Amino acid sequence: MRALLTGSTGRLGGAFLSLWGDKEQAAGYDLQVVTRQDCDLSRPDDVRRFLRSVDFDVLVNPAAMTGIEQCLDAPGLAQAVNAESPRVMAEVCREKGARLVHFSTDYVFSGESAGRKAEGDPVGAVNVYGATKLAGERAVIDTSAGALVCRVSWLFGPTAPDRLSHLDHVLERALAGEIQHLIADKYSVPTFTHDIVEWVDVLLAANASGVYHLCNAGEPESWLSYAQKVCALAQRLGRNLGDVRLCGTSLEDAGFFREKRPIHTAMLPARLQSEDLAHPRHWLEAAEVYLKIR
């Protein structure tokens, strides 16, 4: 299958590149990478022209404007990258009879009520990033009934040094002996990027379409509890982190952010499970695999 991949320099795109780009493990994908230079998602007309000029069977789109404050400062750009270009991708895929795998986020939920959210639960973004990603989901689904929209959260996995995850930052700061002040009142579920690639493989093979939550199993974690569990795991695996100093703070007191964050956005991979496509492992089990290759 000829696969076209955007966002290959990112956390999730990098996982597709390393797993599908590796001929040994590529599971039948002939992968072509699309860089920002080939196809700038801030220019939907250029995206249309570029996509019409290449042949592919599946387009995988993890590229996005992901900086929350960046989206607040440039909402028009965020709308173009996160919503208008995905709509164009869905249009061209429909024209060509190709599949689109588009990625979205747990930030489409308002996060007002606790508990893990299933695909059918009500959405309602509270910030520009979430609103543009939600608009992207809707544009993709409305344009191409066969498209897949995969919502993911709190990614970790091998990545470039300038795109480290919370897990990596926590371990680096712990090794440096820093005191870490981490938010204890905002919740989601960490997810291993390599597991997401595997689930997408399964979804494509099953000809699945619509919205799927692709996340590992486990109860909602805060940034603090996530860090505590990762440090304990690393120590159990023999990493000498020294005296780990993690302190809880609240979103309100932290004062890190200019843009609003939703509180309870942990997702449940309900469709993966109920359709018997996959039964995601606990995120700590996946984190153990990651720590062993890190």
Ligand X SMILES: NC(=O)c1ccc[n+]([C@@H]2O[C@H](COP(=O)([O-])OP(=O)(O)OC[C@H]3O[C@@H](n4cnc5c(N)ncnc54)[C@H](OP(=O)(O)O)[C@@H]3O)[C@@H](O)[C@H]2O)c1
Which residue stretch of 39-47, 253-261, 272-280, 285-293 sits at the interface with ligand X (rule: CB under 6 A)? 39-47
Residue nearest to ligand X (CB): 10
Nearer to ligand X, 28 or 256 (CB): 256
Residues forming a β-bridge with 192: 156
The torsion of the CA quartet 274, 280, 282, 288, rounded to 10 degrees, works out to 180
Among 65, 88, 149, 203, binds ligand X (CB under 6 A): 65
Among 7, 44, 218, 280, binds ligand X (CB under 6 A): 7
Among 1, 9, 241, 282, binds ligand X (CB under 6 A): 9
Residue with tokens 């164009």: 88
152 binds ligand X (CB under 6 A): yes
Nearer to ligand X, 14 or 248 (CB): 14
Nearer to ligand X, 197 or 234 (CB): 197
Among 20, 29, 154, 187, binds ligand X (CB under 6 A): 154
Both tokens assigned to 242: 């020294």
Report the DSSP pairing between strands 221-222 and 187-188: antiparallel
216 binds ligand X (CB under 6 A): no
**Structural contact between residues 89 and 102, judged by C-beta atoms closer than 8 angstroms:** yes
CA-CA distance, 7 to 46, in Å (whole number)? 16
62 binds ligand X (CB under 6 A): yes
Nearer to ligand X, 103 or 199 (CB): 103
CA-CA distance, 219 to 108, in Å (whole number)? 19
Phi/psi zone of residue 207: left (φ > 0), alpha (ψ -120 to 50 degrees), beta? left
36 binds ligand X (CB under 6 A): yes
Interface characters, 118-137, with ligand X (x: CB under 6 A): ---------------x----
Strands (E) in the chain, as ranges, are 2-5, 30-33, 58-61, 99-105, 148-152, 155-156, 179-183, 187-188, 191-192, 210-213, 221-222, 245-249
CA-CA distance, 133 to 66, in Å (whole number)? 9
Which residue stretch of 17-25, 86-94, 149-157, 217-225 sits at the interface with ligand X (rule: CB under 6 A)? 149-157
- Residue 118 CB, nearest approach to ligand X (Å): 17
Give residues 271-290 in contact with ligand X (rule: CB under 6 A): none
Among 32, 42, 70, 209, binds ligand X (CB under 6 A): 42
Among 26, 27, 32, 40, binds ligand X (CB under 6 A): 40
**Structural contact between residues 210 and 106, judged by C-beta atoms closer than 8 angstroms:** no
Provide the 8-state DSSP code for 34: -
Residues of the shown chain interacting with ligand X in the complex, contacts defined by CB under 6 A = 6-7, 9-13, 36, 40-42, 62-66, 81, 103, 105-106, 133, 152-155, 163
